[in-house]
Amino acid sequence: MQYLLVGVVGRLFAGMQREDLGIVTREEVLMPEYFPAGLQHRETEMQAIAEAVKPLIEGRQPDNLFIHGDSGTGKTTCVKRVLEEMNKYTSKVKTVYVNCWEYSTRIAVYSLIVNALKEILPRRGLATDEVFDRITDVMEKDGMRVLVVLDEMDGLFFHNEEKLLYELARAGKGKPFFGIIGISNDPYLLVDKDVRIKSSLRLTDFAFKHYDQAQMAAILSERAKAGLMPGSWGKDVIDACAEKAVARKSNVRVGLELLWKAAKHADKADKKKITVEDVEAVDGKTLYDAKTKKPLVECSFEIRSKSLAEEEKLILEILKGGEKQSSELYPAFCKKLMRTKRQIRNYLKALEAKKLIVVEEVKGSSPMLNTKKIRLSWQEVKK
């Protein structure tokens, strides 16, 4: 019996070739949250970031950085890689990565620092200032330093929690306790901010430039090599995805999404090879599962890793169909979820601060007739 079963199973799988797996062999590699083994064309940036924070290892004052650049230019990935190296190199500097939309209050950030220092706080609630005192006491006692990365730093300002910056910068009474790396898509984020904060932080500006066509193609090729069936894609397909990604402010996520969708599109048609036509066909489209009729991935690559409210996701979904006037957006929204105009306006404000939408004022013949045009930021084509 046992033998027979093995025989049947053996026969069932006997004719199965690698091609039966389809074009996408390792889907996770094409996803934007994948952490690639090697970063390309960002050696200089990583080196510069490492140089800036290096003094912290010897207890000297590091250069605090403000890293900015458009979405999908590799800011988060590069900084995370530097943190990884720092952790391998020394135990005297603890690294703390914070996404400020997810952890947007002082106490939330302090609890991440407490975790990194492996401290246990008493269960009874301590006031935020007491928690911070505990942190600095432990650092003083153990001779520890902490490198804090505040990614999507806009979240802190949006929630009026910039006091955190001030506290981190001033801790240690002259001794550098914290190194700070702020990251944002917005180069002007700090322009109108409190001068006291800026002067105590002394952030050095560091811009992440756009990838050019060849660099983008090289990055996408690496992912294709690791995630797609050999022979299923060619330079033409990579170039087509790269060109569109470069046009959309050099966003690698846009390129990855196109490549993944084009592969799925070709797969669906039982083709062995992706063509440029597949890339054209999927551009800006949502792909649905043939059986369940649900989208193949929950949302666009640009927002997969963001923590968004249900209302925010709904707004983005509506805008996928193209630019909308606010007067069109409200009724479309309320068909799905009942909210007041004021509430919807607040979600729009948050999405604008997260740089996911672009809101443009359109002047009417009188101020009463002014309207707003709203569109998705990552669909914008470079002018």
Ligand X SMILES: Nc1ncnc2c1ncn2[C@@H]1O[C@H](COP(=O)(O)OP(=O)(O)O)[C@@H](O)[C@H]1O
Counting residues that bind Mg ion (by CB under 5 A) gives: 1
Instruction: Say what angle helices 235-247 and 213-227 make with each other, to 10 degrees.
Output: 130
- Pairing between β-strand 324-325 and β-strand 371-376 as defined by DSSP bridges: antiparallel
Q: Which of 77, 105, 213, 326 binds ligand X (CB under 6 A)?
A: 77
Residue 244 in the binding site for ligand X (CB under 6 A): no
Q: How far is the CB of 380 from Mg ion (least distance, A)?
A: 18
| C-alpha 203: how far from chain center | 22
Q: Which of 22, 63, 73, 260 binds ligand X (CB under 6 A)?
A: 73
Q: Which of 25, 26, 41, 332 binds ligand X (CB under 6 A)?
A: 41
State the binding partner of 213 from Mg ion, ligand X, none, CB within 5 to 8 A by kind: none
- Pairing between β-strand 357-362 and β-strand 204-207 as defined by DSSP bridges: unpaired
Provide the 3-class DSSP secondary structure of residue 217: helix
Residue 185 in the binding site for Mg ion (CB under 5 A): no
Residue 99 in the binding site for ligand X (CB under 6 A): no
State the binding partner of 77 from Mg ion, ligand X, none, CB within 5 to 8 A by kind: ligand X
Strand partners, 358: 375
| C-alpha 11: how far from chain center | 46
Give the residue closest to ligand X by C-beta. Answer: 74
Residue 36 in the binding site for ligand X (CB under 6 A): yes
Give the number of other CB atoms < 10 A from CB of residue 225. 11
Residue 76 in the binding site for Mg ion (CB under 5 A): yes
Q: Is 367 exposed, middle or buried (0-12, 13-18, 19+ CB in 10 A)?
A: exposed
Q: Which of 66, 25, 62, 65 is nearest to 267 (CA)?
A: 25
Give the binding range for Mg ion (CB under 5 A) out of 74-82, 124-132, 268-276, 330-338: 74-82
Give the residue closest to Mg ion by C-beta. Answer: 76
Give the number of other CB atoms < 10 A from CB of residue 324. 18
Closer residue to ligand X in complex, CB, 301/333: 301
Q: Which of 34, 158, 166, 330 binds ligand X (CB under 6 A)?
A: 34
Q: Which residues bind ligand X (CB under 6 A)?
A: 32, 34, 36, 39-42, 69, 71-77, 219, 252-253
